[in-house]
C-alpha cells in the first residue's frame, strides 16, 4: 500500500529508524580477520571549481566506514604535489579509510581521466605497502568511477598508447583492488558532455561517443571475452533517480509515483547521470529512488547500503530514500 503525501513526516521517521538499524547491523564486527576487511579508498568525482576539500565531500561515508570523525583525518604527503587523507578505524569493527586527493591544487579536475588514474594507482600502492595488505576496496563517485576503471582496466588502452589523446603514462594494474563500488558513475557517458570540449579532456572523455569510453567498454578482454570488466574485481553500481521536480507539480504524489515507476525501469536520472549510464552489465546494480547526483555519496541510506555491500551483506536492488516511496508492485 502506498504512503500518501499527508503521511510524509511519519514516513520520514520510519526511514530514519530503518537507516539507523542498518548502520547498527553493518557497523558491528562481522569478521575479525584483517584479510576479510581491506582498507577502503574513496575517490571523488569531477569538481568544476577549485578549492574543494575531498574529506568534506566524503564525510558521511568516511565516518560510517571508520567509526571516527573526519576531524581526525591525517594528511599523508606522497609527492610534492600529491597527498592522501587517512582516517584510521575506530576499532576492529570498522575499516581504515583513505580519501583520494588525485587532483592538483588551485584547479578543477578537468585533466585527462587516465592521468588521474596514475595518481590513484600511486595512492593504492602506498596504502597496500604501508598497511602490508594485498587489496583495497574502492568506492568512487561519478567521474571517480571512471578513474578507478581506467586504472583497473588499463590494458584496454594498450592498442592506442602513444596516439593523439592517449599519452602513455606507464600505468598498469597491480591486481590490488578487491571491490569497486561506483556511485552515479557515467559508465556509458553523459549526453551533454559532448558539448563541453572547452571544459577540458575529462569532460570530453565522458561523452557517450568518446574513444575513451569505447575502449573502456569494449567486450574483447583477454580474461573474459563476454565482458568489458576485469574478471578479478567485484563490481557493484548504484544509480540515482531524482524526484526534485515533484514539489512544483500540481500533484506531488502523482509525480512521486511516476518517479518510482521510472526508477524501477532504470529509465530515470539523478539530474546529471542517466540511470542507464550508471549500470554495468552482469554485476549487482542498485537503483536509488528520489536522490540527486551529489546526494549519492552523502545520503545516510546510500552510505548504509555501501557499508553493507562492502561487508558482504544483502542490499536490495531498489533503495528508497524515503518510506513514502514504497508503492506496491501492482500500482507501478
- Which tens digit of pLDDT belongs to each residue from 170-191? 999 999 999 999 999 999 999 8
What is the distance between the alpha carbons of residues 304 and 309, in angstroms, rounded to a whole number?
9
- What pLDDT sits at residue 160? 96
- What pLDDT sits at residue 222? 54
- What pLDDT sits at residue 12? 32
In the block, which residue shows the cell 533517480?
241
- What pLDDT sits at residue 323? 63
Size of the chain in residues = 332
Q: What is the 3-state secondary structure (H, E, C) of the chain?
A: CCCCHHHHHHHHHHHHHHHHHHHHHHHCCCCCCHHHCCCEEEECCCCCCCCCCHHHHCHHHHHHHHCCCHHHCEEEEEECCEEEEEECCCCCCCCCEEEEECCCCCCCCCCCHHHHHHHHHHHHHHHHHHHCCCCEEEEEECHHHHHHHHHHCHHHHHHHCCCCCCCCCCCCCCCCEEEEEEECCCCCCCHHHHHCHHHCHHHHHCCCCCHHHHHHCCCCCCCCCCCCCCCCCEEEEEEEECCHHHHHCCCHHHHHHHHHHHHHCCCCECCCCEHHHHCCCCCEEEEEECCCCHHHHCCHHHHHHHHHHHCCCCCCCEEECCHHHCCCHHHC
Query: Which portions of the chain are predicted below pLDDT 50?
Result: 1-35, 327-332
- What pLDDT sits at residue 175? 97
pLDDT digits (tens, 9 = 90+) for 75-110: 999 999 999 999 999 999 999 999 999 999 989 999
Domain at 5-331: CATH architecture: 3-Layer(aba) Sandwich (3.40)
- What pLDDT sits at residue 25? 37
Q: Where are the domains of the chain?
A: 5-331
95 bridge partner residues:
none
All cell numbers assigned to 171: 600505468
Q: Name every residue whose Cβ is closer than 8 Å to that of residue 164 and which is 6 or more positions away in sequence.
A: none
Amino acid at each position: 500500500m502506498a504512503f500518501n503525501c499527508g503521511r510524509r513526516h511519519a514516513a520520514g521517521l520510519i526511514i530514519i529508524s530503518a537507516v539507523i538499524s542498518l548502520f547498527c547491523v553493518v557497523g558491528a564486527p562481522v569478521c575479525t580477520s584483517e584479510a576479510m576487511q581491506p582498507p577502503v579508498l574513496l575517490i571523488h568525482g569531477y569538481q568544476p571549481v577549485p578549492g574543494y576539500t575531498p574529506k568534506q565531500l566524503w564525510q558521511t561515508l568516511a565516518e560510517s566506514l571508520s567509526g571516527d570523525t573526519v576531524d581526525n583525518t591525517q594528511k599523508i604527503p606522497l609527492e610534492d604535489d600529491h597527498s592522501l587523507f587517512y582516517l584510521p578505524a575506530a576499532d576492529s569493527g570498522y575499516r581504515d579509510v583513505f580519501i583520494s586527493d588525485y587532483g592538483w591544487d588551485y584547479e578543477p579536475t578537468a585533466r585527462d581521466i587516465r592521468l588521474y588514474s596514475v595518481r590513484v594507482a600511486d595512492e593504492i600502492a602506498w596504502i597496500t605497502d604501508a598497511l602490508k595488505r594485498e587489496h583495497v576496496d574502492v568506492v568512487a563517485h561519478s567521474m571517480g568511477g571512471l578513474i578507478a576503471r581506467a586504472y583497473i582496466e588499463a590494458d584496454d588502452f594498450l592498442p592506442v598508447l602513444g596516439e593523439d589523446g592517449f599519452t602513455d603514462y606507464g600505468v598498469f594494474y597491480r591486481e590490488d583492488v578487491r571491490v569497486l563500488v561506483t556511485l552515479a558513475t557515467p559508465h556509458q557517458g553523459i549526453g551533454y558532455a559532448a558539448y563541453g570540449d572547452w571544459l577540458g579532456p575529462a569532460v570530453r572523455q565522458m561523452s557517450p561517443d568518446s574513444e575513451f569510453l569505447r575502449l573502456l567498454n569494449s567486450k574483447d578482454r583477454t580474461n573474459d571475452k563476454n565482458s568489458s570488466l576485469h574478471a578479478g574485481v567485484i563490481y557493484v553500481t548504484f544509480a540515482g533517480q531524482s524526484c526534485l521536480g515533484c514539489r512544483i507539480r500540481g500533484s506531488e504524489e502523482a509525480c512521486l509515483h511516476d518517479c518510482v515507476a521510472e526508477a524501477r525501469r532504470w529509465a530515470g536520472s539523478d539530474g546529471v547521470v542517466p540511470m542507464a549510464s550508471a549500470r554495468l552489465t552482469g554485476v549487482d546494480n542498485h537503483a536509488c529512488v528520489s536522490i540527486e547526483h551529489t546526494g549519492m555519496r552523502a545520503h545516510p541510506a546510500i552510505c548504509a547500503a555501501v557499508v553493507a555491500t562492502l561487508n558482504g551483506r544483502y542490499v536490495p536492488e531498489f533503495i528508497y530514500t524515503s518510506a513514502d516511496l514504497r508503492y506496491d508492485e501492482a500500482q507501478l
